[in-house]
Structure 1
Amino acid sequence: MRVLLQDLDYAFRQLRKTPGFTITVLLTLALGIGANSAIFTLVNAILLHNLPVVDPHTLVRIGDTDDCCVNSGWNDKGDYALFSTDTYYMFKKNLPEFEELAAMESGYAWRPITVRRAGPQTVAKSVMATFVSGNYFRVFGLSPAAGRLLVDADDQKGAPITAVMSYDAWQQDYVGDPSVVGSAFYINTKPAIVIGVAPKGFYGDRIDTNPPKYFLPMNSMDTVIGAPYFNDPDAQWAYIIGRIKPGTPLAALQAKASTLLKQQFAPLKTFTDQRAQKALPRTHVVLTPGGGGIQNMQDGYKDHLKLLQWIAALVLLVACANIANLLLVRGMSRRAELSIRSALGARRSRIVRQLLTESVLLSGLGGLLGLAVSYIGAHALLALAFPNQHNMPINAAPSPLVIGFAFVLSLVTGVLFGLAPAVMAARTQPAEALRSNARTTAHGASLLQRSLVVLQAALSLVLLVAAGLFAQSLNKAENVDMKLDTTNRYIVHINPQAAGYKNTEVEPLYQTIEDSFHAIRGVLKVGLATYTPMEQNNWGSGVKIQGEPDLNKGASWVKATPEYFDSVGTRVAMGRGFTLQDRMNAPPVAVVNQEFAKQFFGKRSPIGHYFGFSGPAKTPQDGAHEIVGVVEDTTYTSVYWKDHAMYFLPLTQPAGIPDADNPLEKDQSMYAGAIVIQTARPIAGFEKIVGDTLASINPNLTIVKFQTFQQQIQDRFIEERLIARLTSLFGLLALLLAAIGLYGVTSYTVVRRTPEIGIRMALGAARSRVIGMVIRGAMLQTLVGLAIGIPVAIFCVRYVKSQLFEITHVNVPAMTTAIGVLVLAAAIAGIIPARRAASIDPVQALRVE
């Protein structure tokens, strides 16, 4: 311990003597380790995070995909992860290998509820809620923060509506008021009792940008939100997670669950179709770990986070190469000191230990700075990845796992890149080192040092090319002609069903909404629709053209009011759009997009043809809707979705032909999800104006979400923007580190060749020739790095092209820009020591020799 303390004291003194070296190494380490720790913080918080529940490792999910939200029909691959109510109860009854199985709503994020506490002057709020089985909290082993949690008795048909409030909602909306527990509320205008508060830190069964504030029993789903699919054995809507008994073999349990599912599906209406019967033998489930909950967000962000990990690792590698170079230079500059210590009797192991102590101390300090950088960086990453999300259950503070990761990274960096210089310096023969002392050679930097600079240049080029490609990809995606007009357009998401309206009552409501907004000065167009362009939503069905063979093709569909196309900027290319005459009881009509016409009619005109829905769950209805118009191919959902066939129906007309199996009262498609408002100019405080207008129609008709149309579109590129910005940042960071490394090695070469340069200049060498000689050496290393980096960059594109928009290879602009930036940085890094070399006084240089 005494010797270790001596080594640490000496190391501190040595580092204080060379502040430039110390600061450079610490900043390099802090940036390299900080970038990796920040990315790892995000990876840990999203990909590796377990639910805050009891013993999450014994939880198992039935299913392995993020299917959402209400599905019908069969799956060609036979892999199911979404289940009907009947299937849940069947699994619960026939799988005793699970201690318990819980069901939870898959698509709650698309169905907010309206909540108002009973009493005078209370305000209705649109919030997220999820419907779960009565044993939901028991399966997770949770205890309430106040009151009680849901039990099986709450989840029975005909039971009074009860709800559990999240801890965050209790604190944020009611400042922890204990009287909330047991209070009467109105949920979608239905009376309910809040029976308790969920434990602090529990955010539900999955990480989500907007976690649920209320948990309701699933048997109240149809009553509260009008969900006919809850009792439909052919409709799948629920995820299932359970806790398995100790010693249960998963392979056998998975096979048993798959067999039970086939038996459950066989008599269903879905599988009466011949094609479905052929798919039935492939029916199966995959059991997956459930400790992390439902992996929807993890699946969405997994590829991008892994890419960022690799990019951050490359930056760290560049940083470590830079540090190794600095330590090599430092080690060589201390040869005389180490030789004297060796001549005085110091053992080689003692010298190596001293030098290792210095490098580990440096890396430890750099690791501490890196944690600070990672804390700031992780907050910045969360702000970039999830803008305007304040309830995200992700903590940017470094967890013990992240702190351990940074510590190990620092230790490995210190030992690995401190060992080689220490061993090289310790191998110096005392007599030889003392004999040469200040005498220099013409050899300049060692092969290892030059190799490290080449490595830095190559890696920097790869990162710069990646940055260029992702920037180009983002630019191309954002500038696609979406056939939309966002100028002075606003999107107002609403939920009429949550305000208490039946689908047979919405027609006068929509007319009132249109009239009320048209009465606002400056409003030009008001369109309502089930969903709008470039939002994360999609409804689809099979399509059957009347009198023609079934092509077994599908299309997405939207229901809208007459002014909708004008409000989003979609032009009618043929025929007409919707009119005021296309009402609930009028003949069913449809408008299709150009891609629909192309896929189903080729070069023929679709106007006047009839079509309906086809699919396994229904008898094909091939004559439901007459096509009266064709509109341009407006982009919906994502610019990555090519050849997107779509059709549009009047909002208040039934989606199909009402019959005993599909009564009009159960048609959920008649509820508008959004209002699109076009104004003549930007209107200050328009959100409040909209809220007041809706409240004047019905106090329960609240704003679910308010955005400009442009903001909605920009939100669809959040991940792409995050990747483009971070790759650019990391590329510039790697470039800076590579330039510093090149500058350091070139400066060191100039110092070692000072006598040689002095002799050359004494013999008449011009300053320009000396400058050219130094720059040639610097540029040669850069060019070798380019020769290695160019093919590596071309090869690596194949692994990221799936994340690029319409870019499949390294294009000339990206490569040329990256090469130009790297060469310019190398020239700047080389010109400074070159000018210093050219200013050497020959007499002074020879006097040193």
Structure 2
Amino acid sequence: MRVLLQDLNYAFRQLRKTPGFTVTVLLTLALGIGANSAIFTLVNAIMLHNLPVTDPKTLVRIGDQDDCCVNGGWNDNGDYSLFATDTYYMFKKNLPEFEELAAMESGYAWRPVTVRRAGAQTLAKSVMGTFVSGNYFRVFGLSPAAGRLLVDADDQKGAPVTAVMSYDAWQQDFAGDPSVVGSAFYINTKAATIVGIAPKGFYGDRIDTNPPKYYLPMNSMDQVIGAPYFNDPDLQWAYIIGRVKPGTSLPTLQAKASTLLKQEFAPLKTFTDKRAKEVLPRTHVVLTPGGGGIQNMQDDYKDHLKLLQWIAALVLLVACANIANLLLVRGMSRRAELCIRSALGAQRSRIVRQLLTESVLLSCTGGLLGLAISYLGAHALLALAFPNQQNMPVTASPSPLVIGFAFALSLVTGVLFGLAPALMAARTQPAEALRSNARTTAQGASFLQRALVVLQAALSLVLLVAAGLFAQSLNKAENVDMKLDATNRYIAHINPQAAGYKNTEVEPLYQTIVDSFHAIPGVVKVGLATYTPMEANNWGSGVKIQGQPDLNKGASWVKGTPEYFDSVGTHVVMGRGFTLQDTMNAPPVAVVNQEFVKQFFSGKNPIGHRFGFSGPGQAGLDGAHEIVGVVEDTTYTSVYWKNHAMYFLPLTQRAGSANDTTYHLDEDQSMYAGALVIQTNRPIPGFEKIVGATLASINPNLTIVKFQTFQQQIDDRFTEERLIARLTSLFGLLALLLAAIGLYGVTAYTVVRRTPEIGIRMALGAARGRVIGMVMRGAMLQAVIGLAIGIPVAIFCVRYIKSQLYDITSVNVPVMSVAIGVLVLAAAIASIIPARRAASIDPVQALRIE
């Protein structure tokens, strides 16, 4: 300990004596380690997240897919992760290997609820609510923050509606008022009692950008939100998670659950079709760890987060190469000191330990600074990744795991990149202290130093090329002609069902909404639809053209009002759009897009043809809808979804099969508009308040679920791409800066060591230009070698990221040319400074060094 304290004290003194070196190393390390720790914070918060529940390791999910939200039909591969109510109860009864099984709504994000506390002057508010089984909180082993949690008695048919409020909603909306527990609320106009508050820090069974604020028993689902699928054995809507008993064999349990599911599916209407019977033997489930909850967001972000980890690691490698170079230069400059220490009897191991102490001290200090940078960086990353999200269950605060990661990274950096310079510096002979170093060091930098600069240049080029490709991909994606017009257009998401409207009441409601908004000065078009083009929503069905063989193809569909196409900027190219005459009781019609015509009619005129749903239980031959028009291929959901066949139906007409005897109007969820699209002739300040007031004047329970401009909705679809493009550009520039510093350092070091040689050359008549050229040639040669290595590496690496690029499959000439040009320019700037310094050497002063 005494020797260690001596080494630390000496190391502090040495670092204080060279503030320039110390600051450069600390900043380099802080940036490298900070970038990695910031990315790891995000990875830890999203990918490695465990639910704040009791013993998460024993939780197991039945399923492994990101399925959502209400599905019918069969899967060709037979892999199921979403289940009907009857299937959940069957598993619960027949799988005693689980202590308990809980079910939860898969698609709550698409079904917000309208909540109002009972009492005068209280306002209705649209929030996220989810429906769960009565044992939901018990399965997770949770205790309430106040009151009680849901129990089995709450989850019975005919039971009074109860709800549990999230801790955040209790604090943010009611300031932690204890009287909330036991008080009466109206949820979708239905009376409900708040029985308790969920524990602090619990955001539900998954990470979500907008977690639920209310938890309701699933048996109240149909009553509260009108969900006829809850009682339909052919429609899957629920995720299932359970806690397995100790000693349970998961492979055996998985095989048993798969067998039970086949038996459950066999008598269903879905599997009466010939094709369905063929895929039934493939029916199975995959059991996955449930401690992290439902992995929907993790599945969406995993590819981009892995990419960011690799990019951050490359930046750290460039930073470490810089540190190694700096330590090598420092070690060489201290050769005389080390020779004298050796001559005075210092052992080589003692010298190596001293130098290692300095490097580890530097790296640990840099790691602490890096942790501070990572904290700020993680906040910036979260803001970029999840803009405008206030209740994200992801924190940027460093967890013990992140702190441990940063410390381990610092320690490895210090030992790994301090060891080689320490060993080289300690391998000096005492006799060298008595000699002049001028002649023996005239060769300049060592091969290792130059190799590190070459490595930095190569890695920097790879990162610059990646940054260029992602920037180009984002630019291409954002500038695709989506056949949309976002100018002076606003979108207000609404939920008429939550406001208490029945299916039979929506037609006059929609006309009232249209008339009310047309009365606002400046409003040009008012359209209502089930969903809008770029909100990441999609409804789909099989399609059967009347009089043609079933092609076993499907298409997406949207329902809208007469002004919907104009409101989003979609143009009719053949026939007509919807009119006021296309009412609930009028003959059913449809408008299709050009891709639909291409896929189902081989490009021939489709006007007048009829089609219906195909699939189990669908009388597709009846031709439910007559095609009356064709619209251009407007982009829906994502620009990455190409060849997207779509059809559009009037909002209040039924969808599917005209002769379906099982159809009930009061169960048709597609009658409800999900969005209101308003076109104005100019930007209107404070338009959200105007929209809210107009809806409230129609019905106080008709609230805005979400309000945004159409351009904001489009921009939101590129959030991840924008994050990757910005971070790769930032990391690429950071790596370039570090590489330039490394090249400058080695070149400046070479000039210092070759000062006598350069002085002699100039004394013998060498011109300044020749000296500059000589120094720059040596520096640029390292950059060129780095380019020679980096170019093929960059071309090779594109194959691993092309799936994340839009319409880019290889490195193109412009991106590569810009990356090479930027790197060459940085190398030239980094080398010209020491080159000019070399050319200004006074020959007389240089010769005196001898």
- Indicate the TM-score class for this superposition, using the shorter chain for normalisation: over 0.9
Q: Is the 8 A contact 1:440 1:752 kept in 2?
A: no
Q: Tell me the residue number matched to 1:682.
A: 683
Q: Is the 8 A contact 2:101 2:241 kept in 1?
A: yes
1:196-207 equivalences under 5 Å are 196-207=196-207
Q: Tell me the residue number matched to 2:105.
A: 105
CA distance in 2, matches of 1:165, 1:131: 12
Q: Is the 8 A contact 1:614 1:622 kept in 2?
A: no
Counterpart code for 1:771: I
CA distance in 1, matches of 2:82, 2:663: 22
Q: Tell me the residue number matched to 1:345.
A: 345
Q: Is the 8 A contact 2:81 2:285 kept in 1?
A: yes
Q: Tell me the residue number matched to 1:68.
A: 68
Q: Tell me the residue number matched to 2:666.
A: 665
Q: Is the 8 A contact 1:33 1:370 kept in 2?
A: yes
**Secondary structure of the structure 1 residue equivalent to 2:435:** helix
CA distance in 1, matches of 2:70, 2:723: 31
How far did residue 658 of structure 1 move?
Answer: 6.5
CA distance in 1, matches of 2:345, 2:571: 89
1:308-457 equivalences under 5 Å are 308-437=308-437, 439-457=439-457
Q: Tell me the residue number matched to 1:580.
A: 580
Counterpart code for 2:614: S
Q: Does 1:228 pair with 2:228? A: yes
Q: Is the 8 A contact 2:54 2:142 kept in 1?
A: yes
CA distance in 2, matches of 1:43, 1:623: 50
Counterpart code for 1:301: Y
CA distance in 2, matches of 1:363, 1:587: 75
How far did residue 604 of structure 1 move?
Answer: 1.5
Q: Tell me the residue number matched to 2:808.
A: 807
Q: Is the 8 A contact 1:160 1:192 kept in 2?
A: yes
Q: Is the 8 A contact 2:547 2:621 kept in 1?
A: no
Q: Tell me the residue number matched to 1:504.
A: 504
Q: 1:138-193 CA distances to partner (integer Å, 9 max, x unpaired)?
A: 00000000000000000000000000000000000000000000000000000000
CA distance in 1, matches of 2:603, 2:714: 32
CA distance in 2, matches of 1:228, 1:638: 30
CA distance in 2, matches of 1:441, 1:131: 76
1:485-504 equivalences under 5 Å are 485-504=485-504
How far did residue 2 of structure 1 move?
Answer: 1.2
CA distance in 2, matches of 1:160, 1:533: 39
1:580-599 equivalences under 5 Å are 580-599=580-599
Q: Tell me the residue number matched to 1:759.
A: 760
CA distance in 2, matches of 1:218, 1:620: 33
Q: Tell me the residue number matched to 1:646.
A: 646
1:518-597 equivalences under 5 Å are 518-597=518-597
Q: Is the 8 A contact 1:456 1:738 kept in 2?
A: yes
Q: 1:478-505 CA distances to partner (integer Å, 9 max, x unpaired)?
A: 0000001110000110000000000110
Q: Tell me the residue number matched to 2:24.
A: 24
CA distance in 2, matches of 1:476, 1:330: 47
CA distance in 1, matches of 2:538, 2:434: 78
Gaps of 5+ in 2: none
Counterpart code for 1:414: G
Q: Is the 8 A contact 2:465 2:794 kept in 1?
A: yes
1:134-213 equivalences under 5 Å are 134-213=134-213
CA distance in 1, matches of 2:780, 2:555: 57
Q: Is the 8 A contact 2:84 2:236 kept in 1?
A: yes
How far did residue 13 of structure 1 move?
Answer: 0.7
**Secondary structure of the structure 2 residue equivalent to 1:236:** coil
Q: Tell me the residue number matched to 1:301.
A: 301
CA distance in 2, matches of 1:307, 1:455: 20
Counterpart code for 1:164: V
Q: Is the 8 A contact 1:185 1:194 kept in 2?
A: yes
CA distance in 1, matches of 2:98, 2:619: 38
Q: Is the 8 A contact 1:73 1:617 kept in 2?
A: no
How far did residue 664 of structure 1 move?
Answer: 1.1
CA distance in 2, matches of 1:623, 1:429: 95
Distance 1:622 1:772, change over 3 A: farther
Counterpart code for 2:706: K
CA distance in 2, matches of 1:374, 1:653: 54
Q: 1:185-237 CA distances to partner (integer Å, 9 max, x unpaired)?
A: 00000000000000000000000000000000000000000001000000000
Q: Tell me the residue number matched to 2:838.
A: 837
**Secondary structure of the structure 2 residue equivalent to 1:585:** coil
Q: Is the 8 A contact 1:457 1:789 kept in 2?
A: yes
**Secondary structure of the structure 1 residue equivalent to 2:712:** helix
CA distance in 1, matches of 2:603, 2:420: 72
Counterpart code for 1:137: F
CA distance in 1, matches of 2:92, 2:618: 28
1:605-620 equivalences under 5 Å are 605-620=605-620
Counterpart code for 2:708: Q
**Secondary structure of the structure 2 residue equivalent to 1:71:** coil
Q: TM-score, normalised by structure 2?
A: 0.99
Q: Is the 8 A contact 2:590 2:628 kept in 1?
A: yes
Q: TM-score, normalised by structure 1?
A: 1.00
Counterpart code for 1:666: E
CA distance in 1, matches of 2:827, 2:430: 37
Counterpart code for 1:809: S
CA distance in 1, matches of 2:2, 2:218: 67
How far did residue 616 of structure 1 move?
Answer: 2.1
CA distance in 2, matches of 1:834, 1:534: 55
State the number of aligned residues: 849
Counterpart code for 1:629: G
Q: Tell me the residue number matched to 2:717.
A: 716
Q: Is the 8 A contact 1:458 1:788 kept in 2?
A: yes
How far did residue 659 of structure 1 move?
Answer: 4.4
Gaps of 5+ in 1: none
Q: Is the 8 A contact 2:336 2:432 kept in 1?
A: no
Q: Does 1:624 pair with 2:616? A: no
1:278-293 equivalences under 5 Å are 278-293=278-293
Q: Does 1:515 pair with 2:515? A: yes
Q: Tell me the residue number matched to 2:732.
A: 731
**Secondary structure of the structure 1 residue equivalent to 2:620:** coil
Counterpart code for 1:225: I
How far did residue 554 of structure 1 move?
Answer: 0.5
How far did residue 435 of structure 1 move?
Answer: 1.6
**Secondary structure of the structure 1 residue equivalent to 2:115:** strand
Counterpart code for 1:813: P
* Higher mean C-alpha deviation, range 425-434 or range 441-450: 425-434
How far did residue 3 of structure 1 move?
Answer: 1.1
Q: 1:715-741 CA distances to partner (integer Å, 9 max, x unpaired)?
A: 000000000000000000000000000
Q: 1:232-260 CA distances to partner (integer Å, 9 max, x unpaired)?
A: 00000000000000000100000000000
Q: Tell me the residue number matched to 1:248.
A: 248
Q: Tell me the residue number matched to 2:481.
A: 481
How far did residue 441 of structure 1 move?
Answer: 3.0
How far did residue 602 of structure 1 move?
Answer: 1.2
How far did residue 517 of structure 1 move?
Answer: 0.3
